[in-house]
Amino acid sequence: MTQVAIVTGSATGLGAACAVDLASRGWNVAINYTKSRREADETYSKVKAHGVDAILVQADMGQDIDCRKLAEETLKKWGRIDGLINNAGATKFQKSGDLDGFTAEDFDRILWVNVAGPYMMSRAVWPNMKKQWEKSRQRGSIVNISSTAGATGLGSSIPYVASKGALNTLTLTLALWLSPAVRVNAICPGFIQSRWLRDGLGLAEYEKMKQAMEQTTPLRQAGTPEQMAEAALFFLTSASHVTGEILLVDAGNHLGTVPMKGR
């Protein structure tokens, strides 16, 4: 039986990389987008090129009715959901120290998409995953895409940082509540080479940050969407004895710079 995964926010960036990587491993994939239909079509073509099946579902992960629709469309197509990657996210870039840089509405939207969204999607897939566990002991897997912002307090804005900290603790709670039928883990990417970050920071600041990652992190790398997808899929597809873990994926940036000869 071919396994099935939903990847939210999978038109571009990390979400798209997860969808394509899953397809390369033989999974059928439900691709989700809110506005980026052209990019979603491109991701769909890349997924289908691996010989698997896929569907495109437009849905806003800040709306419960849309979360339920995404799960329902997936079940209608394949009759099962084995994996969920909660990747869709929102932010508003805010200059450090500018406490007036966002409104209550901005705060509400960011927390709703980044925290309530993964909760609502997990709730939407839970009945099927529980049923599969009870019927055949096939355990579901959920991976939340968090951020190092939730661990360090540094990120694009205060609401974003707060949302990722909340997502980390939500991961722990869901790992307990959905056990033993479902494993729930999270990855916390650091800098990712992406259009989203480039557009948010501006080209000059983006290139400055990218260069800093390449020169100062222990691995001397600026992360790519594909590298983050590798970590997410480790939890989703391989780590059968792991739940409730939160993994920093930042080339060791959280460790600080360790000078070494020959570098």
Mean pLDDT of 57-63: 96
Contacts (Cβ under 8 Å, ≥6 apart) of 86: 8, 61, 117, 118, 121, 122, 142, 143, 144, 145
Tell me the per-residue pLDDT of 186-240, one tens digit each, with 9 for 90 and over.
999 988 888 877 877 788 887 888 898 889 889 999 989 999 999 999 999 999 9
Helical spans, DSSP H, in the chain: 13-24, 37-48, 64-78, 104-111, 117-136, 149-152, 158-177, 195-201, 203-216, 225-233
212 assigned to some structural domain: no
Q: Which value, to the nearest 10 degrees, does the dihedral of the CA atoms of residues 12, 194, 106, 64 take?
A: 30
Average pLDDT value over all residues in the chain: 91
CB 258, CB 251: distance < 8 Å? no
DSSP 163-216: HHHHHHHHHHHHHHHTTTTEEEEEEEE--B--HHHHHHH-HHHHHHHHHHHHHH
Q: State how many domains the chain has.
A: 1
Residue that wins the pLDDT comparison between 95 and 193 = 193
CB 199, CB 12: distance < 8 Å? no
Domain that holds residue 243: 4-194+225-248
Residue 262 has pLDDT above 70, yes or no: no
260 assigned to some structural domain: no
Comparing CA positions, the residue from 79, 76, 175 lying closest to residue 119 is 175
Q: Is the dihedral of CA 224, 228, 231, 234 positive or negative?
A: negative
Mean pLDDT of 16-37: 96
CB 32, CB 8: distance < 8 Å? yes
206 assigned to some structural domain: no
CATH number at residue 144: 3.40.50.720
256 assigned to some structural domain: no
Of 33, 44, 160, 206, which is the active-site residue?
160
Mean pLDDT of 160-175: 96
Q: Percentage of the chain with pLDDT > 70?
A: 95
Give the other-Cβ count within 10 Å of 47's Cβ: 28
209 assigned to some structural domain: no
60 assigned to some structural domain: yes
Q: What is the pLDDT of residue 155?
A: 66
Query: Does residue 33 carry a catalytic annotation?
Result: no
CA 11/CA 17 separation, integer angstroms: 9
Q: What is the pLDDT of residue 259?
A: 57
With bands split at pLDDT 50, 70 and 90, how would you rate the model's confidence at 97? low
Full-model pTM: 0.92
211 assigned to some structural domain: no
Helical spans, DSSP H, in 49-103: 64-78
217 assigned to some structural domain: no
